[in-house]
Structure 1
Amino acid sequence: TSPGSGTGIGKWTADQFYTMMHDGRSPDGGLIYPAMPFGSYTKVTRADSDAIFAYLKSVPPVKSANRPHELRFPYNNRQLILGWRTLFFQPGEYKSDPSKSAEWNRGAYLVQGLGHCAMCHTPINALGGSSDSKAFEGGLIPMQNWYAPSLTSNKEAGLGEWSLQEISDLLRTGVSARGAVYGPMAEVVYDSLQYLSDADTRAMAVYLKSLGQGGPPDATPPAIASAESSLLFRLGKTVYDAQCATCHGGDGKGRPPHFPPLANNQSIEMTSAVNAIRMVLNGGYPPGTTGNPMPYGMPPFAQSLSDEEVAAVVTYIRGAWGNKAGAVTAAQANQLRSAPLD
């Protein structure tokens, strides 16, 4: 943004800004690529749009001309966005559900609109769109190689069994007694969620908890031969005892909130093992927030563990202490070893 200058939104009006937020069109009527999440922002009220615009206009101006995009054919043809919009875009501000509480509706508005949580937590199809029928069911984040888990299933990130305080702590500080956020979600907490009011954090918690009342997903992990799985599990215990037990405990219960539990941890037991593999390979930190200003991190092990050892230790934590997730292979670990970090 470049308020006060001739670039960016410097010459935009509040009406033009709302049109962009609500309908995904620039002031000249041009179609905006849905990388800008207008599919979610269309739910934002005019009053909140005007408030955002007023804030942006208060930012010190910067003169910065937009550079031409580098999209290749056919994606450089903006008219193709018309087809995408027909299939996947439904404009309209959020409408309250009269059967739900005011707090639930406030949480739904924040999650569905300003939070645009569905951009990651809903599966993206080959056309770059998502279906309302699969909202919040989880999926691999394109280009980032992190898995955004389902918010509707308690087998993944569904929060139906969490307390409102545990959910609020996770959103606001990045850590809670039940787990911590890493990867792209850590950025969301750092850049956005930590600044929410207590009332809005609780409202989001109420809504998210209601989403997590569904059953586990039907998908099952790919089968690995029982002999190979058994070997991986035994090797994995050796690696775990040497590298992981100091922080996460021999019983997998950890020392929350700084050292998350691995036993009975939804993020460990998901069908997709992508995030667990990436954490072993790359390590990571929860975000530094006002509520958790000095986060404890996990070191990377890519430099010291082979693909077989990474697969083994992830297989172990997914099957130890009552966890019931499937084994992973060295090939899966190798594939993620060279993946982008964000």
Structure 2
Amino acid sequence: MNNGTKLGVAAGVVVLGTAIAFVSTNSAQGKIPYTDAKAVSAGKTIYQNECASCHGADLKGEPDWQKRDENGYLPAPPHDVSGHTWHHDDQLLFKLTKFGVQSIAGKEYKSNMPAFEKKLTDEQIWHVLAYIKSEWPKDLAQRHTEMVNNK
């Protein structure tokens, strides 16, 4: 094998590895498993333990969630239909949960939302999102899924 062939093989391995990493990271895009009873049940437990203290056990969020406090922070928004969670596609919801709001909105954005990157696995985050989405009216959940898949 000459140097050109070796370089070509090495480049192919790098490209293949990058493709596999991309697919494994993004394979759940548009696929919040909200119709999977096991995922929803697991997500509900995680939500109650990790999210309900701010977003409410009933997904209703904190009072006056659209009004910043004296320090410039917004209260935790609801995840039911009265909020805006359903306006965001699956991948954005995942990224906000895993990496925190500031990863999307910028470091200057004031948010009490922690990043769960070191606390929850990707699968656990998808399960929490499945629980939240399972609580929306079926027609809204379906529209949300269609919105994501038509991007």
| TM-score tier after normalising by the smaller chain length | 0.5 to 0.7
1:231-281 CA distance string (max 9 Å, x none) = 111000001000000110011111113211111156432483011101110
Residue 325 (1) aligns with residue 141 (2): yes
State the TM-score, normalized to the length of structure 1. Answer: 0.26
Residue 312 (1) aligns with residue 123 (2): no
2:40 — aligned with what? 233
2:91 to 265, 270, 274: 274
> How far, CA to CA, are the matches of 1:259 and 1:296 in structure 2?
9
Residue 249 (1) aligns with residue 49 (2): no
1:22-41 CA distance string (max 9 Å, x none) = xxxxxxxxxxxxxxxxxxxx
Write the mapping of 1:106-255 to structure 2, written as runs, cut at 5 A.
226=35, 229-255=36-62
State the 1:223 CA deviation.
8.8
Residue 263 (1) aligns with residue 80 (2): yes
Helix, strand or coil: the match of 2:89?
Answer: coil
* Larger RCO of the pair (alpha carbons < 8 Å, separation 6+): 2
1:160-196 CA distance string (max 9 Å, x none) = xxxxxxxxxxxxxxxxxxxxxxxxxxxxxxxxxxxxx
> How far, CA to CA, are the matches of 1:223 and 1:260 in structure 2?
20
Asked whether the equivalents of residues 101 and 113 of structure 2 are also in contact (C-alpha less than 8 Å), the reply is yes
List gaps (5 residues or longer) in structure 1: 1-220, 329-342
> How far, CA to CA, are the matches of 2:32 and 2:90 in structure 1?
13
> How far, CA to CA, are the matches of 1:222 and 1:274 in structure 2?
9
The one-letter amino acid of 2:38's match is: L
Across the two proteins, how many residue pairs are aligned to each other? 102
Asked whether the equivalents of residues 270 and 325 of structure 1 are also in contact (C-alpha less than 8 Å), the reply is no
2:24 — aligned with what? none
1:277-297 CA distance string (max 9 Å, x none) = 0111001246798xxxx9332
**Compared CA separation, residues 223 and 303, structure 1 to 2 (3 A):** closer
Asked whether the equivalents of residues 251 and 321 of structure 1 are also in contact (C-alpha less than 8 Å), the reply is no
How large is the Cα RMSD of the aligned pairs? 3.4
The one-letter amino acid of 1:242's match is: N
The one-letter amino acid of 1:244's match is: C
> How far, CA to CA, are the matches of 1:311 and 1:301 in structure 2?
12
1:190-228 CA distance string (max 9 Å, x none) = xxxxxxxxxxxxxxxxxxxxxxxxxxxxxxx559695xx
List gaps (5 residues or longer) in structure 2: 1-29, 67-74, 146-151
**Could you say which structure has the larger radius of gyration?**
1
